[in-house]
Structure 1
Amino acid sequence: MGCAGSSQTKGDGALKKVRKPKPWKHPQPLTKSQLLQLREEFWDTAPHYGGRKEIWDALRAAAEADLSLAQAIVDSAGVIVQSADLTICYDERGAKYELPKYVLSEPTNLIRES
């Protein structure tokens, strides 16, 4: 960004491949329904954090897809992945998008509802 010779493919020679986040633990144990509510609240308010709505939409689709489809989504949307687990990404204009782990995977302390 800003440098005529910069490119998302230079440096290590390849784009970062999307991967699942490492196991993580939420501060309080959550049920599946609480986790889904947190996710909905995040995605409903995400465009207010800045950036473009279409990039937020692509990131949501990628977060909810399997890894190979997620990779195709971020590639086609022009998303620059800084953290392979999608927690930090940029669009082609340099806007930063930060995703909390709870929208990308389930915590290790998820309470199974019966």
Structure 2
Amino acid sequence: MSKIKCEVVQDLITLYVDNLASKESNNIIENHIVNCSDCKIFLEMLKRDEIITNVVDKNNKAVDSVEKKLIISIRRRTIKRNLLALLVLIIIVVLSTLLDNCSF
């Protein structure tokens, strides 16, 4: 099997943590993290939902790329959850309005 880039694996890891990845994707991730400490750390951090921001240099100019991806991933999941909650609320309001206007 050809070596899969960490970026691809880290995209799959977010699905893996949410139990949404296919069995084949799970196998790819599990085989990859055996040899890749960055992706293994990324997975462990996502599992614990911890955000750790280690500074790369003294001037606080750069943050480790794995940590940036973790922050982005958590933000995306939070946005998706909020949008889903908003959608459910809108559906409830619309249905409630329709039922109030209906005469039985």
Q: What TM-score results when the alignment is normalised by the length of structure 2?
A: 0.29
Greater share of strand residues, 1 or 2?
1
1 or 2 for the larger relative contact order (CA 8 Å, sep ≥6)?
1
TM-score computed with the length of structure 1 as normaliser: 0.28
Q: Which has the higher helix share?
A: 2
